[in-house]
Amino acid sequence: MPILLTIIIFCVGAMLGSFLGVALDRYNTGRSMGGRSICFTCNKKLGPHELIPILSYMIQGGKCRGCKAKVSFEYVLIEVLTGLTAVLIFFKFWGTFSSHTPFDFFAMIALYTLIFSFLIVIVFYDARHLVIPDGFVFAFITFSFFGMFFLRDVSLFQDILAGIFICAPFAFMWALSGGKWMGFGDVKLSLGMGWLLGLSSGVAALLISFWLGAIIGILLMVFRGEKYRMKSQLPFGPFLVLGTYIAFFGSIDLAWIINLFS
C-alpha cells in the first residue's frame, strides 16, 4: 500500500472536511456557501494560514488569533473523520486497482468520499438540530444512485429497487404515526442507504442501526436517570449513518447477520 498516496488522500479528505464544517455552519442561515471564512465572534476574515485543516487548530490552540474566542473542536473532528473516511475507501477498493484505469479508480474513490462526506454532515446537523437537512440528504441520495454503476453490475430488482424496499418500513412508520415514531428525514436517508449498499447490506445496516440505537437509548436511561426518559428525543440519523459505515466497510450483509445468530 503506497504510504505517500495514503497520506495525500487523507489530506485531500481533510480539506473536504474543512469545507464541510463551513457548509454545516452556513446551511439554512441565509449565508452563501462561498466567500471567505470568518470568525463568528469578531467577524475577522481568516487568512490561508488559519484555514489549514487540523494544523491551524492545533497551532492556534483552538482559539481565534484575533479575539481569542474558542473555536469548536467539531471542525477538527469533521476534518479528521472525512480524512479517515477517504483513506478507508481507498483501502476498500485498492484490491480492484488493476481492473480499472487510474482515472476510473480515483474517480470512484472521489465519488464514494463525497457520498460519505454528505453522511458526516448529516450526522452533525442532526445531532445539533434534530432534523436531517434536505440539501445534504438529497445530494446523498443522488450520488448513491449513480454510485451503483461504479461498484457493481446494476440489476433492476436487486439494486435500483433496493432503495425503495429499504425505505418502505420507515415510510410506513412515518405515515402510521404522523411523524411521531420516525422523521421523514430518516425515510429519505434510508432510500440513499439502499442504493449505496444494495438490498442485503442495506437490511443489515438497518438492523445494526436499530440495535445500536436501542443499546444507546437503554444506556442513557440507566446512567442519566431523570435527565433522560423514553420521551426524550434521540436523533436516529447518526445511528443510520453508523450502521451504513459498518455494513459498507465491514462488507456485512444479511447472510452475515443470519450466520452470526445461527
186 and 237 in contact (C-beta within 8 Å)?
A: yes
155 and 88 in contact (C-beta within 8 Å)?
A: no
pLDDT averages per 10-residue partition of the chain, 262 residues? 86 91 77 64 67 80 73 87 95 83 87 94 90 92 85 66 88 82 86 92 93 85 62 77 96 90 78
| SS3 call for 70 | strand
C-alpha grid cell, residue 100: 480499472
**Residue-range domain boundaries for the chain:** 1-99, 100-262
Residue 101 gets the label, from left (phi > 0), alpha (psi -120 to 50) or beta, of: beta
- Secondary structure element (H or E) that encloses residue 52, with its range: none
166 and 216 in contact (C-beta within 8 Å)?
A: no
In angstroms, rounded to a whole number, what is the distance separating the alpha carbons of residues 182 and 38? 36
Output the pLDDT for position 30: 63
Q: For residue 169, what are the CA distances in angstroms to 177, 192, 204, 242? A: 12, 14, 14, 19
Output the pLDDT for position 31: 67
Output the pLDDT for position 231: 47
